[in-house]
Copies of this chain bind each other. A is one copy, B any other.
Amino acid sequence: MRAREKCGVFGIYGHPEAADLTFLGLYALQHRGQESAGIVASDGKEIKSHLGMGRVSEVFSPEKLKGLTGHLAIGHTRYSTTGGSNIKNAQPFLADYYDGLIAVGHNGNFTNTKTLRRRLENKGALFHSTTDSELVTHLISHSKTKTFPENLIEALAQIEGAYCLVFITKDKIIAARDPHGFRPLCLGKINGGYVVASETSALDIVEAEYLREVEPGEIVIISEKGLESLQPFSVRKHALCIFEYIYFARPDSRIFNHSVYLTRKRLGEKLAQESPVDGDFVMPVPDSGNYAALGFSQKTGRPFEMGFIRNHYVGRTFIQPAQRVRDLSVKIKLNPVRELISGKKVILVEDSIVRGTTSRSRVRTLRNFGAKEIHMRVSCPPHRHPCFYGIDFPTSDELLANRYNLTEMTKYLNLDSLGYLTLEGMLAAMPLPPEEFCTACFNGEYPVEPEEGLSKEVLER
């Protein structure tokens, strides 16, 4: 299991086929969550929704989309870490607010969930899911202020942790990002309307023009009156998720205002400087290792080869039938090119190592195909700490770097050498100053302390 992002969000106002474009946007954000998908649309009067388990392509049919008429819509793709895969946890979450239906999609993770929930239950609130999205709707409905924006500000003020929230009411789209700015959220323009999305690849697909980030702590309200921006909260230290640049975001996206592709290449270049090695060629573990490998190859002048071939027909669930074939699910996804590998010194570039089991299988496969030497280079430091802000890592006990030192890891993975990028090297390759980032999963420095229960729960998971 790789680390997994919790979600992708999308919202659009001002296009006659808002739900259709949202559907496309979700396609472009599918890598951020494949467990459930949903779209909520409005024509200014009535809100319609469709949600389901599975990928965007499985959840929506042309008929389903046809029913989602209107010029504003939000969408969500989800991967869940807790509570099991369940249609009740699918998003956007809909609630019948005294003022009409509202729906909300969320990317991130609140760190004071239990406190908030206890507080609301004491007031009589009944919960139907375990999502942060439901929590925020209750906070809004229990607010005593008068307008929806006031209710929302009052609600957000109680929340700690990471969030990018996109709301829809019958005539408005509202987007909010937490003051630390953990997760990315961008703003685009389309035919006089607006789009918000987790990544710019979702703007590209709908041919929206990139405007800017939704800023940390900003609330953006999009309605008939155009775009209104609120900054109701005091400024806090930024804590952009550095792992979005390393692994999560799509390489064709611009996040936190800079290109992911170019950043990853710089990580590879830095890695080549910090951890040089002699080899016949550089090859990535595709697709996530491709870009650092390109940087590594270009920096060192050693040829780039695509020595693993990806099988595009392996779906989400691979039925493993034959017990006797070793490393099957690993091999069926990536098969090496025997004539390239055989008898060669291979420099293998990987974006990150989490538990190490998959890497170990890959190395074994290369050995079986006759590789003479295998040198692995990893374009970020070792992962050692849990994330409380929306990424699902294995428990700390399972993280390879918590079980072994470098020598042991090299042996465990059966490598000739293993090199990680340093924290400093990683930060130096970034397009923004070091203080802008959250690097907690590498060094344990948490910008926001999680409440007691949460931190325990994650460690034991």
Residues of A participating in the B interface, judged by any CB pair closer than 8 Å: 17, 20-21, 23-24, 27-28, 30-31, 34, 55-57, 60-62, 65, 94-98, 121-128, 137-138, 141-143, 200-201, 204-207, 250-252, 254, 259, 261-262, 287, 290-291, 294, 297-298, 303-306, 309-315, 317-319, 321-326, 328, 331-332, 335-340
Contacts and interface: CB of A to CB of B under 8 A. Distances in A.
Nearest to A97: B126
A336 B206 CA distance: 14
Given A21-B322, A27-B313, A123-B124, A337 B60 contact: no
A137 B124 CA distance: 10
This chain's copy number in the assembly: 4
B128 A319 contact: no
Given A98-B121, A298-B303, A324-B17, A204 B338 contact: yes
A338 B331 CA distance: 33
11 contacts: A20-B321, A24-B321, A30-B313, A34-B313, A60-B319, A96-B128, A201-B309, A251-B309, A252-B337, A287-B310, A312-B312
A298 B303 CA distance: 7
B128 A335 contact: no
B95 A251 contact: no
B125 A141 contact: yes
Contact of A252 (B305, B309, B315): B309
Contacts of A57: 313-315, 317-319
B128 A17 contact: no
A9 to B, nearest CB: 17
A338 B311 CA distance: 27
Given A17-B324, A21-B325, A27-B314, 18 more contacts: A23-B322, A27-B313, A30-B311, A31-B312, A57-B313, A57-B314, A62-B319, A94-B128, A98-B121, A98-B122, A124-B125, A126-B138, A126-B141, A205-B328, A207-B325, A250-B335, A262-B339, A297-B304
B126 A95 contact: yes
Contacts of A126: 95-97, 125, 137-138, 141
A37 B220 CA distance: 42
Contact of A141 (B61, B124, B310, B324): B124
Secondary structure call for the A interface: mixed
A62 B321 contact: yes
A201 B60 CA distance: 34
Given A294-B304, A298-B303, A335-B205, A322 B24 contact: yes
Most chain B beta carbons < 10 A, residue from A65, A98, A126, A309? A126
B27 A311 contact: yes
Given A27-B311, A313-B30, A335-B201, A65 B141 contact: no
A298 B297 CA distance: 12
A166 B241 CA distance: 49
A294 to B, nearest CB: 7
Contacts of A98: 121-122
Nearest to A250: B309
A65 B205 contact: no
A305 B294 contact: yes
Nearest to A123: B124
Nearest to A60: B319
Nearest to A31: B313
Instruction: List the 9 shortest-distance A-B pairs measured between CB atoms, nearest first.
Output: A124-B142, A259-B339, A20-B322, A20-B321, A30-B313, A96-B127, A252-B309, A98-B121, A95-B126
A333 B338 CA distance: 28
Contacts of A291: 306
A328 B201 CA distance: 13
Given A318-B57, A337-B259, A332 B138 contact: no
Contact of A321 (B17, B121, B142): B17
A98 B126 CA distance: 8
A206 B57 CA distance: 31
B28 A337 contact: no
Contacts of A313: 27, 30-31, 34, 55-57
Most chain B beta carbons < 10 A, residue from A60, A98, A254, A328? A98
